[in-house]
Chain A
Amino acid sequence: MNQIVSTRNLSKRYGNVFSVNEVNLSVCEGDIYGFLGPNGAGKTTTLKMLLGLVRPTGGKVKIFGKELEANRRYILQNIGSLIESPSNYEHLTGLENMRVVQRLRDVPDKNVTEALKMVRLEKQKDKKVAQYSLGMKQRLGIAMAMLSFPKLLILDEPTNGLDPAGIGEMRELIKSLPQRYGMTILLSSHLLSEIEQMATSVGIIHNGTMLFQGSMEKLQARSRPAIRIKTQDHAMARELLASRGFFPKVQEDSLLLENITDSQVAQVNRDLVAADIDVLRIEEQTRSLESIFLDLTGKGNSL
């Protein structure tokens, strides 16, 4: 598949601290790419560098196969974005705000109507933005980002400030965009559950470093259940299983066997009993995506 966004060793240093450190991001056409990381991980700085709002300390950015530095105008004309808090003119109405972006993007009136309809703001469009709730401002920001129905939509924490119903609607809207308009979506969040429900690809960043990048299936594969076996004598059991071609990990007071089929579990059990090693417990241990995320980003860190 075509790479829409690719970065090579993208870095940003503030003083002596790397906010983003040699990140190689890869977003393919038609993807919903979830950019996941705890607060302060470097998500927004990376997205700002993709949009030319922050100058990288090092590395290269390619969007639509072109270097950002040399093709800034062309690239930005084909990107819609919502970074951090929504940008709007509070003294103007929602519609007037859309008109400002319409003039900047040079798009027809029907785009304004359609974008407002998509975020369900058509009835509040004549209200001043100062009178909007945070959720309405967020929806207006998304409508402004989608106004030109760009090839690439970059959304930084798009569900911030939305109520549960609004989050659900926004999720469905974002999921429908690649099919309806051929858009590629790059969205960041610190909420794994949100990304899990929308994204087709994931990148996990922590302390400015990319820890994982790949398809959602690849991440979910890490959450396949493992078999935990508790015996009377772990040392002997490990030795025996190793001789049978199984290499369990020792975890606390148990042995952990990963990627093992049901028939193999039965075989292991038979072998242990035959060798006079008492099997005290066999249980399935499932790992949630959340625990994988916590493992990757370091336990105990606040998300």
Chain B
Amino acid sequence: MIHAIRLEFYKLRRRFLFGMTVLFVCVELIWALMAANMSFARNPDRVGWEPVIAMLTSLNGLFLPILSAIVVSRICDMEHKGNTWKLLLTCSMKRERLYAAKYICACAIMLSVCAMQGLVIAAFGTVQGITQSVPGFLLARFMLGTMVASMAILALQQWLSMVVKNQAFALCLGMLGGFAGLVGDLFPAAVRKLLVWSYYSGLSPIAQNYTGNELQFYVRNLSDSLPEVGGLMVVAMAIYLAGRFFASRQEV
């Protein structure tokens, strides 16, 4: 399996996927950190880690579904474009292994995105002079929630990218997902729970609430979040298995 994953990374040479991913995340981070910076300037008494994390989780809902669509599409598209399914399958590569290798490759890229975000938040807070020490546990929860939501979205995107050759459909789904991720919190809870893209903010360790005219940030209980994390992981696995089943049945 490791051999297959390493091969996926080898094939991504010259696709500028890593550079593009870093650039994309940088744009999001600049946006989030500038917004946090402006907020701190206006309300110096509310300087803390919570607004920074909350700001980034909100923007993750918009950016990461699109980024996931791009990453998965780039990983799958090279096989469609190069007509290489035949080559891989006749080299006794199993379809299931190939599907898994591509998924793990996409997950590894998104994991590095999560890690990058965690590190940048820590660096930003330190530079801003936030008095509390770096909240390692909160950041770990933030990264876990972001990663689990991404895993479900990546599974969905991979299903579409593998089955439908034209990657415009997959990218459209990514954009619709970005919209759903941004406005997901505005939907009733029952609807929101059905939208995998809304879980970036749904699994965030920081919740936001208006008290009168003032926006309040508070830390969610871990015990409240864990069942949702577990449930979403099951959904991600179900989407992955369904995608793998349909993609493996296709004739090349």
Contact = CB atoms under 8 A, between A and B. Distances in A.
Interface of A: 48, 51-55, 72-73, 76-77, 79, 81, 83-92, 96, 99-101, 103-105, 128, 144
Contacts of A52: 89-90
Contacts of A72: 92
A261 to B, nearest CB: 51
Smallest CB-CB A-B distances: 4 pairs? A87-B87, A76-B92, A104-B91, A87-B84
A290 to B, nearest CB: 31
Interface string B240-252: 0000000000011
Interface in B70-114: 78, 81-93
A138 B92 CA distance: 21
B42 interface: no
B89 A92 contact: no
Contacts of B7: 100, 103-104
A51 B15 CA distance: 30
Given A88-B82, A88-B83, A105-B91, 5 more contacts: A54-B251, A101-B87, A103-B3, A103-B10, A104-B91
Given A103-B3, A104-B93, A92 B14 contact: yes
A61 B160 CA distance: 33
A90 B88 contact: no
Contacts of B252: 48, 53
A101 to B, nearest CB: 7
A87 B86 contact: yes
The residue among A86, A87, A90 with the most chain B CB atoms within 10 A of its own CB is A87
B39 to A, nearest CB: 42
Contacts of A77: 92
Contacts of A87: 82-87
Contact of B251 (A55, A84, A104, A144): A55
Contacts of B89: 51-53
Contact of B84 (A48, A88, A99, A128): A88
B251 A51 contact: no
A160 to B, nearest CB: 13
Contacts of B13: 91-92, 96
Tell which of B3, B13, B14, B86 has the most Cβ of chain A within 10 Å. Answer: B86
Given A88-B82, A100-B10, A81 B90 contact: yes
A91 B15 contact: yes
A145 to B, nearest CB: 9
Contacts of A73: 92
A11 to B, nearest CB: 15
A52 B86 CA distance: 10
Contacts of B220: none
Contacts of B87: 87-88, 101, 144
A90 B90 contact: no
Contacts of A89: 11, 78, 82, 84
Contacts of B86: 51, 53, 81, 83-84, 87
